[in-house]
Chains A and B, each alone.
Chain A
Amino acid sequence: MNEILTQEKSIYIQIKEMIEDDILRDVLLEEERVPSTNELARLYAINPATAAKGVNLLVDEEILYKKRGIGMFVAAGAKARIANKRRERFYDDYIRSLMAEAASLGITKAELVRMIAEAPEDGEPG
């Protein structure tokens, strides 16, 4: 929630990903209220409509849900859903670019597999 906004991505995408990260890292727990769009707008000094756009994307993906008159809440099972979604995207997000870069440097697939096998296991997110 306290990351710095950058120029590289649309602000509302960054807001969305930030909330997702926080759910994965247990900063926001399931069935817990998330900051309102106005609070987000104030925190990042952005237009509330932009913040709302990011939050609404998460509502569409059923990661957040609206309680009338109270605010936005993290849906039950949201953490698993986000992890799933990211797992599905992992190939597109990381493997493709990994292969492309390896190819451009002349690193063979076999070498790549060996590198991955030898790399130390890092802390898993969440």
Chain B
Amino acid sequence: MRHLKFWVRWGLQTIGIAAGAAAVYLVINLFSGTMNRGEETLWEWMLNWYPIYLLVCGTLVVSIIGISFFQVYISLLMAMNCTRREVTLGGFVTITADLLVLLCGSALLWGCYRDSFWRIGGSVILPFAAGAMLGVTSLFVALGVAIVRWGKIGLVLASIGYAVIGGCLGAFFALSGSSLLSDLLGGKGAAGSRLAVGLAVLAGGAVLYGIAWIFAFFSIRTMQVRA
């Protein structure tokens, strides 16, 4: 019960920050006028875009707060008599649940507004988004593991590694990725093959996420609290 209380509070806090960040980003875009509202009413426009922002901002918020789990809460909770198993499990379940809540929340908002979502988007966007979320978060979990294992040096090394990976991905996306992506999400191509791609992304993300947490589990099991 004690654990549930702590983790639920932590998880809800994260969701709150994510929802807030998405809203702020939405408002900024609204007033900066970079987005073309077209014929939609303001309300329609917001409902249309907020879920997307919620997914993107939310994933980043959960991931970044996830880092604080590794940096702060593991040693803090161990000092408060939690076993390493309890701490790892708590972090894993809460972060995963946060991602799930974000995904479901976005889907619901979207689904309520657009009937077509369930026909075209539901089948592709959800597994695709879920896979992307897990993939991104697993990168941050791996960063956390680096911090747990190698401290500040781990943080620096992992950051450099990510800068390189990010650069490569960015280059790829700029060259060919964006058209692929818009094709996929824009409803071109056969529904079956698009679903297959979505599921493949989901599977890839899930595997990465799982591996990252398995590493986390073993690292936390043997980590030394600074003495």
CB atoms of A and B under 8 A apart anywhere in the complex?
no
A interface with B by C-beta (< 8 Å): none
B interface with A by C-beta (< 8 Å): none
